[in-house]
Structure 1
Amino acid sequence: MHDVSAVLLAAGESTRMGRQKALLPWRGTTLLDYQVSGLLEAGVSKIVTVLGYRAETLRSSLQGIPGVVTVLNLRYRTGKVSSIRAGLRQVSSESTAILVISVDQPRSALLIRRTIQAHNEQGVLITYPVYGDRGGHPIIFSATLLPEMVRIRESRYGLREVVERHRKRALRLEIGDPDVLLDLNRPDDYQRAISHSVPAR
């Protein structure tokens, strides 16, 4: 029985974007709602959504959704690692795998499901999609790595250190879709993405 929990990072101030990313329109909804819906549709059993900046605004949009919990990271200004660690502390003890993704990395339910399925079938420690020779997201970790994951530090490149340490037991899942690399950091990233976006999940 596979039980996947997700840590969805949505705590940042979005300073480079100039607007709160979680609330940006995306395929008929917001980035936050799109990510949550996609994760649930893909079979994720629990989503730990890490909030920080304007947390109450985002929390209200998530209330009452089965399988979704929120955690407040008061130290979100110190960097993404603090949010990852805050989310990992709330992961279900019954989880067999942990998926980590940011709210500004929108992924379809189909892509997420395919990555989860490959991870479960291959029996590896880490799985992530690649396009060409570039690694993308989401990244899925075996829950056996949780003790290592909660010890990550910003100064040691966060989760990349864990991925590198276990690269021989990591699956680079070839995906013929550049969306696995999508990362909406700046306004031009967002405008370019929505101009190429299609309605299908």
Structure 2
Amino acid sequence: MLAAGLSSRMGRWKMQLPWGDGTVLDGALDHALAFCDRVVLVTGFRGEALRQRYAGQPNITLCHNPNYERGMFSSLQRGIRLLADGHFFVIPGDMPAVSPGVYAALWQQRGSRCLIPTIDGGCGHPVLLPPAMREQIRNANPQANLRQLIVGYGRETVDVTCASIHWDLDTPQQYAALRQRLLYQAWQFAHREDGEYPE
């Protein structure tokens, strides 16, 4: 999970903006850990604040990228070193609404190709990458990006039902709109007789 950026388009540090009962990054971590055994959290900008918040949590491995200003791919190359063997997910830390079901849907289809979730024709996050992609990322030119590597390696899409695969928080307008949606979903849940949370 990549949480190293400057949040320049947001105008304030988005990882610790309020979300539900916690923060944006809390939400992203909680949903990932509802399916994954462990998350490698790559920090950069204000990394010490994140270290203080998440240090000591046994299912979160912290990894600091001192070169975070070089971009997201530099954080990915840093975090890849701490991954266990096998398939692995990649997701930005500003996607707190991605449900555990998305992780599960991708995992069920895992194989030799890179898997991308899609809904209504649009691709999103997280992506699930096969073990061989570890070396591809580690040895890539630092100026490369993950999308290029995925296309070159081979990819497949997996249909999901959760539109939140598209909902990252880059601007104040996106943040306000998604918080409003979260409040509306909470209201819907409180008024449903079956107790099922809507997508």
Question: TM-score range, shorter-chain basis?
Answer: 0.7 to 0.9
1:136 to 107, 124, 140: 124
Q: Which secondary structure state, in structure 2, belongs to the residue aligned with residue 176 of structure 1? A: coil
Q: How does 1:64-83 map to 2 (within 5 A)?
A: 64-83=56-75
Alignment RMSD: 1.7
- Opposite residue 153 of structure 2, the aligned amino acid is H
- Opposite residue 50 of structure 1, the aligned amino acid is V
> Residue 154 of structure 1: CA displacement?
5.4
Normalized per residue, which structure has more strand?
1
Q: How does 1:46-125 map to 2 (within 5 A)?
A: 46-92=38-84, 95-106=85-96, 107-119=98-110, 123-125=111-113
> Residue 153 of structure 1: CA displacement?
3.8
Q: With a CA cutoff of 8 Å and minimum separation of 6, indicate the structure with the bigger relative contact order.
A: 1
* Alignment partner, residue 114 of structure 2: 126
Bigger Rg over Cα: 2
Residues 1:193 and 2:188 are matched in the alignment: no
Alpha-carbon distance in 1 for matches of 2:46, 2:37: 26
- Opposite residue 143 of structure 1, the aligned amino acid is P
- The answer to whether the Cα contact below 8 Å between 1:104 and 1:184 also exists between their aligned partners in 2 is yes
Identity of aligned residues (%): 27
> Residue 184 of structure 1: CA displacement?
0.8
Q: Please identify, of 46-55 and 102-111, the stretch whose mean Cα deviation from structure 2 is larger.
A: 102-111
Alpha-carbon distance in 2 for matches of 1:113, 1:25: 26
- Per the normalisation by structure 1, the TM-score is 0.85
Aligned pairs, how many? 185
* Alignment partner, residue 151 of structure 2: 164
| Deviation per residue, 1:55-86 (Å, 9 max, x gap) | 11111111221221111111111111111101
